[in-house]
Structure 1
């Protein structure tokens, strides 16, 4: 299968490397020239929970005029619109598109540029990834990829996309209720993204910290309460057990929001902790914990 991974940062590089290692013809589309040069020169090294391998694949900084079978949009939420504008040359009449970001709302942006009925949403659970350097990525976990349709994509096509990931070694589920999938992950994200970013702690350190741990859990409870108030069919009965299990599976993970602050980059706070107050307002509720965490991160980002 011809696959383009758009946005080969830490997470995108894991996807590209393992899919290429499974025998697919993978094109990595990334704006960082040093990373692209390293991949083309010596290959892409992926190490961590999936093992340690160096994979040969092609990398480019601009989309070529080449139709793909599957396009995976793995940029961060703030870059989804720009990525959508660049997809035209990659999309043919049968191309499926999978967008996979933290938080909620990215698929709505991408649907302005691609046929919503060929768009899928992916959720990566318990993958902590960092760049070791150009052409080299490490990941702590490899728990689950969940894939669902954005609009009216047939489940047979969604399942076909999921099977591609399974063949590459990912534990993958196809589900028709993608909104519930997103919120089940979002509950975990809000518990650790902002708290880790603001303190410099790992996920496991936040989990066990006597001061920050209660704040983390309160953020998760808020998100869980909002999801239930909105009638989202999450399969989470106990939000504290849910986020503790998440952290226990990857205690050394450093969320991308923490890495962004350390590198003086604007992160995804608006679609993670920042998404909870907006959703709470629709349900006639307030979300003061997540609103405060969002404001603190935005203040840190103001000088970037």
Structure 2
């Protein structure tokens, strides 16, 4: 396949490195000029759970005007819609767009830009990716990539995308229920995104900390209760066991919200912890734990912007 990855940050670079290493023609697109230059000059280095390798990837600051088979939108949730708009020059009649973001809300923005019938929504579980330097990505795990059709995407086209990911070594599968998939991941995200960002602790440290583990579990339980109240079909019987199993796979990872705060950037906490109180209002409930966690992260963001 010819695959374009829009947003070649930490996670996007992991996708690019592994997909290119197995023979796909991969185009990486990112606004970080130094990263793009390093990839073009030396290749993309990927190390961690999948080993240590160099992959040849074509890298650009702006999307090239060439049609691809698959566009992966791997930017943060708040930028997904704009990124999809910019990627439209690479779309042909057969092109599938796969949006992989944390939290809830960004898929609607992508669908508005590219159309519902070519869109798949995905989640990546337990990767813990980071960029130690330009042209160099690291990841702590690669548990699963799951994807489902957002609108009318044909099942065979979706399965072909999943097969490409499996060929690259990912544990990839298609699912029939996008909402359930997103909420199962959201329950894990809310347990660690804001708690890690506020404290500076890793996922494993929050899980084991006697004070923060209580807060983390409360955020997860609250999201689980809201999902059930909304009638979302989730395969989670015990939310605490669910988030502890998630953390056990990537104990040394720092969630993207923490990494953004460390770099002085605006995070996607509004789409993660902040999504829970918004969804709660739909069923006339409240989500005070996630509401407070979101406010605390946003306060830290405001200090970074001064």
State the TM bucket, normalised to the shorter chain: over 0.9
Counterparts in 2 of 1:34-183, with a 5 A limit? 34-183=34-183
2:6 corresponds to which residue?
Answer: 6
CA distance in 1 between partners of 2:82 and 2:115 (Å): 17
CA distance in 2 between partners of 1:110 and 1:147 (Å): 15
Secondary structure of the 2:103 match is: coil
State the 4+ residue runs in structure 1 displaced beyond 6 angstroms.
none
CA distance in 2 between partners of 1:88 and 1:123 (Å): 22
Q: Any conservation in 2 of the 1:98–1:119 contact (CA below 8 Å)?
A: yes
Does residue 230 (structure 1) correspond to residue 230 (structure 2)? The answer is yes
1:115 is displaced (CA, Å) by: 2.0
CA distance in 2 between partners of 1:209 and 1:232 (Å): 31
2:29 corresponds to which residue?
Answer: 29
CA distance in 1 between partners of 2:92 and 2:185 (Å): 31
CA distance in 2 between partners of 1:170 and 1:64 (Å): 27
Q: Any conservation in 2 of the 1:273–1:293 contact (CA below 8 Å)?
A: yes
Q: Any conservation in 2 of the 1:65–1:89 contact (CA below 8 Å)?
A: yes
In the comparison of the two structures, how many residue pairs are matched? 304
1:253 corresponds to which residue?
Answer: 253
1:93 is displaced (CA, Å) by: 0.7
CA distance in 2 between partners of 1:148 and 1:81 (Å): 18
Secondary structure of the 1:18 match is: helix
CA distance in 1 between partners of 2:79 and 2:271 (Å): 12
1:277 corresponds to which residue?
Answer: 277
Q: Any conservation in 2 of the 1:146–1:173 contact (CA below 8 Å)?
A: yes
1:81 is displaced (CA, Å) by: 2.1
Q: Any conservation in 2 of the 1:128–1:139 contact (CA below 8 Å)?
A: yes
Deviations 1:171-213 (A, max 9, x none): 0110110110000000000000000000000000000111111
- Structure 1: 5+ residue runs without aligned partners? none
Q: TM-score, normalised by structure 2?
A: 0.98
Q: TM-score, normalised by structure 1?
A: 0.99
Deviations 1:4-53 (A, max 9, x none): 00000000000011000010000001111000000000000000000100
CA distance in 1 between partners of 2:228 and 2:76 (Å): 27
Q: Any conservation in 1 of the 2:85–2:114 contact (CA below 8 Å)?
A: no
Secondary structure of the 1:298 match is: helix
Secondary structure of the 1:138 match is: strand
CA distance in 2 between partners of 1:10 and 1:90 (Å): 22
**Worse-superposed segment, 32-41 or 156-165:** 156-165
- Structure 2: 5+ residue runs without aligned partners? none
Secondary structure of the 1:87 match is: helix
CA distance in 1 between partners of 2:108 and 2:115 (Å): 11
Q: Any conservation in 2 of the 1:155–1:176 contact (CA below 8 Å)?
A: no
